[in-house]
Amino acid sequence: MSPSVRPTTSADIELARRLAPVIRFCDNEPFLPSHVGITVLDAPARSPSTGLPIAFEPGVAKVIEYAIWWDWDIQHLYELEHIWLKLAADDSVVAIEASAHGGKFAMQLPDGALPLESGRVVLVSTPGKHAFTATAQEQLPGAERTAVACQELAGRAGILINDMFREHLGAVTPEDHRAVKRYLQARAFLPTFGFNQLFDLATAEFSSWDDLAAWIPGRVKTVLAQVRQEQPLLKAVFLDSGDTLVNEASEKFDADGYVIEAGLIPGALEMVQSLAKDGYRIALVADGRVRSFATILGGHGISPHFHAQVISEAEGCEKPDQRMFQKAMAALGLGTSDAEAIVMVGNHLERDIGGANRLGIISIWQNWSRKRSHIPAEAIEVPRYTIRSPGELPALLADIERQMARAKSNPSPV
């Protein structure tokens, strides 16, 4: 706590609850606040929860800061917004400020009056994002941007970790962020911009800001654990190499038949980097010689992103032999019961697609090259999905995970 900010008393919390604002949410807002951390300032100081300066204009005797907690913003786990009520000596409200997109703004009606209804402060909250305005009309200029945030960009930030809580949330993984992204993408919505859902902030759980700040890291971990329990994710991505990552037409060989030079298919490196950033576990499952892959994929910076490498020369068998896929599963601690949460991406209908399909692995055929047949020889070679280039894979995997979530929420009748 700032040296100039005194400890919050029970009387402060009682006053804050008595004067607590009412928030107008859009009619289909899915996320409502649950906790409020209170600070009462008796003199100008920096907000202990935001670091923003709190000024005392003439006639202001004290300021109540409401640090308002939501588990969710439509774009991330963790949400704090703020309202500041500036009070005269008799505890009447003489000015109001509130947060929006990291800033602090005066809350006034167009005629300069305070936004009061029946003597209560009433503010309007941006759908999904929760930034405050004094009127519903002020939400309309940003309506298109808000709608995009609530739909196409839902979940984009994963778990919001700010500097205040970074040391307490250091164990959060890229896979955790991805789980949260998928959870929120499944809850994307088109806002109504009718603000008739009233929430009385006095009904939330009140505490001092210090107590709320101490509670937040544990709450984030609890909500994250619930998401990880609920949200299905792919457990592994198996990748072929030739004409999946590497352009086979560009390969150059030495006298012993090892590949010594080859170019990547455009977008292959960026695709692998994207999957790694999002916490996918990636395994190379490829036919060929170990040294060739070390030279080419290692030289292009792809190999460090593999959690396992299963190469036919080392295994003594080639795809579509099930042992290639089973070895990759075992290397990642998976078994055949996990097949429906694994994808195999390759260019060869018989070896990659047929081999994956026989084990129940989700097959993705990349038809970038015309070198091999594009016509399945038998039904087992029909791919579950088809992409034209590596750059299409991240979006497809996201779609697959969203489909997995929908299937879990809507199980097929037995």
Read off the pLDDT of each residue in 265-292 and give the average, rounded to a whole number: 97
Per-chain mean pLDDT for the chain: 96
Residues belonging to the chain:
414
Helix (H), strand (E) at residue 82: strand 76-87
76-87 and 158-159: which strand pairing?
Answer: parallel
* Long-range CB contacts (within 8 A, 24+) of 142-149: 143/191, 143/193, 146/191, 147/190, 147/191, 149/74, 149/75
**Rounded CA separation 141/144 (Å):** 8
**pLDDT value of residue 301:** 96
Asked if 36 and 207 touch (Cβ cutoff 8 Å), the reply is yes
**Beta-carbon neighbour count of residue 27 at 10 Å?**
13
Q: Which of 220, 104, 228 is nearest to 160 (CA)?
A: 220
Read off the pLDDT of each residue in 38-66 and give the average, rounded to a whole number: 96
Read off the pLDDT of each residue in 324-349 and give the average, rounded to a whole number: 97
| Per-residue pLDDT reduced to its tens digit, 139-167 | 999 999 999 999 999 999 999 998 899 99
pLDDT band at 413 (very low <50, low <70, confident <90, very high): low
Distance, first Cα to last Cα, the chain: 58
pLDDT band at 351 (very low <50, low <70, confident <90, very high): very high
Token pair listed for 364: 């993705």
pLDDT band at 237 (very low <50, low <70, confident <90, very high): very high
**Rounded CA separation 290/312 (Å):** 8
| Per-residue pLDDT reduced to its tens digit, 53-72 | 999 999 999 999 999 999 99
Q: What is the DSSP string of 352-367?
A: IIIHHHHHTPEEEEE-
Q: Which of 294, 308, 303 is nearest to 269 (CA)?
A: 303
pLDDT band at 1 (very low <50, low <70, confident <90, very high): very low
What DSSP state is assigned to residue 400?
A: H
**Rounded CA separation 254/295 (Å):** 12
**Rounded CA separation 140/136 (Å):** 7
| Per-residue pLDDT reduced to its tens digit, 362-398 | 999 999 988 888 999 999 999 999 999 999 999 999 9
217 class by beta-carbon count within 10 Å (0-12 exposed, 13-18 middle, 19+ buried):
middle
**pLDDT value of residue 407:** 84
Asked if 97 and 106 touch (Cβ cutoff 8 Å), the reply is yes
Read off the pLDDT of each residue in 205-211 and give the average, rounded to a whole number: 98
CA triple 121-215-160, angle to 5 deg: 80
Read off the pLDDT of each residue in 303-314 and give the average, rounded to a whole number: 97
